[in-house]
C-alpha cells in the first residue's frame, strides 16, 4: 500500500493545485465553478487520506455541496459574458505576474516553513488525555465544543453575519422556473427529504463518539432544504412569520455565547463547563448549533430577505 498510497497522494496534490488554478483563472465562469466543486470533493478525499473524516464530511457537504449550489445559482443570474481568452489573461495581467505570484509564493513558503517547525505529535495527545473531563468520547467533538469552543462560536458567527449580509441585499428573488419542468425533481425532493432529516440526526448523534457532529449534520439538513427549494417548494420563511425563524437562525450562536458567559460567571473561565453537566451542555449546544447551521445555509441560499409571495396558495413545504 505504501507506494500506491504515495502515488495516489501525489496525483491528488497535483490535481488539487490544477483545479484551484482552474477555479480562479479559467476563462469560462461555468468551468471555474465546476472546477471549484470538484476541488471541494477532492479536498474531502485529501482529508480522508489525512485521517480527518470529520473535516472531510464538512468539506464535502459545505465546500462542494452547499457552496457549489450557491455558485451555480449565482452563475445562472449573471448576464452572459464573453470569456477572457487565455492570451488576454497572460498579457493583460502583468501586475499578477510581477506582484501577486511572488507574494503568494513567498506566503506559501513561509507557511510551509512554519508547518515544518510545528511540534511533531501536535496537541493530539493533550486532547486525548483530557477527553475524560470533556463530557464526550470523541476527541474532535471535545475540541470543537469544549476545549476550543471559542473557534466554533466564531465560525457560527461568520455564518450568521453571512446570512445577515445576504438578507440585507434586498428581497429574495422569485425562484426561476426550470426551462423544461421535470416531474422527477419535485418527486425526488419529497421522497428524499425524510432521508436528509434521518442522516442529519444520525450524524448529530454520532458526534458524541465518532466522526460527525453539528457541522456535517447542519450541512446535510441545509442541503435537503436547498433541494426542496430547487424542486419548486415555496420557502416557508416569510416576513410575517420571521419571529421563530430568526430565533432558530440565531439560536446556535446565542446558546453558545450563553454557555460561555454562564461558565465564566459561575467562577470558571470563558467556555468552562462544570464537568458534571459537560455532556448535557455539549448535547444542547450540538443540537442548537446543528439546527442553526442548517437554517443559516438555507437562509443564505434564499439570496435575499424572504417576503410574502403573491402566490401563497401554492404548495408550502
Partner 1 sequence: MSWTELVGGLLVIAGMPFFILGTLGLLRFPDVYTRLHALSKADNVGLGLVCVGLGIQSGSPAMMLKLLLIWVLMLVASATGAGLIARTALARGIRPWSP
SS3 191: helix
User: Nearest CA to 60 among 236, 259, 261, 203?
Assistant: 203
User: Distance between CA 186 and CA 317 in Å, rounded?
Assistant: 11
Where in 237-266 is the site for partner 1 (CB under 8 A)?
none
- Residue 185: CB minimum distance to partner 1, A: 6
- Residue 29: CB minimum distance to partner 1, A: 17
User: Distance between CA 256 and CA 149 in Å, rounded?
Assistant: 8
Asked if residue 72 binds partner 1 (CB under 8 A), the reply is no
Asked if residue 87 binds partner 1 (CB under 8 A), the reply is no
Alpha-carbon dihedral sign for residues 315, 223, 71, 293: positive
- Residue 195: CB minimum distance to partner 1, A: 7
Cβ–Cβ < 8 Å for 65, 73: no
- Residue 214: CB minimum distance to partner 1, A: 21
First to last CA, the chain: 49
- Residue 75: CB minimum distance to partner 1, A: 14
Place of cell 448535557: 280
| Residue from 192, 210, 248, 309 in contact with partner 1 (CB under 8 A) | 192
Site size for partner 1, by CB under 8 A? 10
How many of the other CB atoms lie within 10 Å of CB of 257? 16
Residue-level length of the chain = 317
Site track for partner 1 across 149-188, x = CB under 8 A: -----------------------------xxx-x-xx--x
- Residue 184: CB minimum distance to partner 1, A: 5
Where in 47-66 is the site for partner 1 (CB under 8 A)?
none
Task: For partner 1, give the closer residue by CB, 181 or 308.
Answer: 181
Asked if residue 98 binds partner 1 (CB under 8 A), the reply is no
User: Nearest CA to 153 among 276, 242, 251?
Assistant: 251
Where in 265-294 is the site for partner 1 (CB under 8 A)?
none
Asked if residue 315 binds partner 1 (CB under 8 A), the reply is no
Residues at the interface with partner 1 (CB under 8 A) = 178-180, 182, 184-185, 188, 191-192, 195
Amino acid at each position: 500500500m505504501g507506494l500506491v498510497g504515495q502515488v495516489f497522494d501525489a496525483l491528488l496534490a497535483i490535481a488539487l493545485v490544477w483545479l484551484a488554478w482552474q477555479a480562479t483563472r479559467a476563462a469560462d465562469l461555468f468551468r471555474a465553478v465546476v472546477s471549484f466543486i470538484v476541488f471541494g470533493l477532492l479536498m474531502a478525499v485529501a482529508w480522508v487520506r489525512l485521517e480527518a473524516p470529520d473535516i472531510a464530511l464538512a468539506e464535502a457537504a459545505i465546500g462542494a455541496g452547499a457552496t457549489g449550489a450557491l455558485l451555480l445559482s449565482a452563475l445562472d443570474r449573471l448576464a452572459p459574458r464573453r470569456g477572457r481568452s487565455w492570451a488576454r489573461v497572460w498579457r493583460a495581467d502583468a501586475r499578477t505576474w510581477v506582484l501577486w505570484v511572488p507574494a503568494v509564493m513567498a506566503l506559501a513558503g513561509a507557511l510551509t516553513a512554519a508547518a515544518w517547525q510545528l511540534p511533531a505529535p501536535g496537541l493530539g495527545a493533550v486532547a486525548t488525555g483530557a477527553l475524560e473531563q470533556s463530557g464526550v468520547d470523541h476527541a474532535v467533538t471535545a475540541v470543537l465544543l469544549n476545549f476550543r469552543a471559542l473557534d466554533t462560536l466564531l465560525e457560527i458567527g461568520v455564518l450568521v453575519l453571512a446570512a445577515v449580509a445576504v438578507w440585507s441585499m434586498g428581497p429574495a428573488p422569485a425562484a426561476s422556473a426550470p426551462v423544461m419542468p421535470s416531474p422527477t425533481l419535485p418527486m425526488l425532493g419529497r421522497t428524499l427529504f425524510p432521508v436528509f432529516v434521518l442522516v442529519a440526526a444520525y450524524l448529530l448523534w454520532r458526534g458524541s463518539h465518532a466522526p460527525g457532529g453539528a457541522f456535517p449534520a447542519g450541512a446535510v439538513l441545509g442541503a435537503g432544504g436547498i433541494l426542496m427549494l430547487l424542486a419548486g417548494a415555496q420557502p416557508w420563511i416569510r416576513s410575517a412569520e420571521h419571529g421563530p425563524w430568526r430565533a432558530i437562525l440565531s439560536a446556535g450562536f446565542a446558546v453558545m455565547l450563553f454557555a460561555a458567559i454562564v461558565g465564566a460567571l459561575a467562577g470558571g473561565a470563558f467556555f468552562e463547563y462544570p464537568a458534571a453537566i459537560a455532556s448535557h451542555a455539549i448535547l444542547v449546544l450540538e443540537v442548537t448549533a446543528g439546527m442553526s447551521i442548517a437554517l443559516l445555509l438555507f437562509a443564505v441560499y434564499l439570496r435575499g430577505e424572504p417576503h410574502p409571495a403573491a402566490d401563497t396558495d401554492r404548495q408550502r413545504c
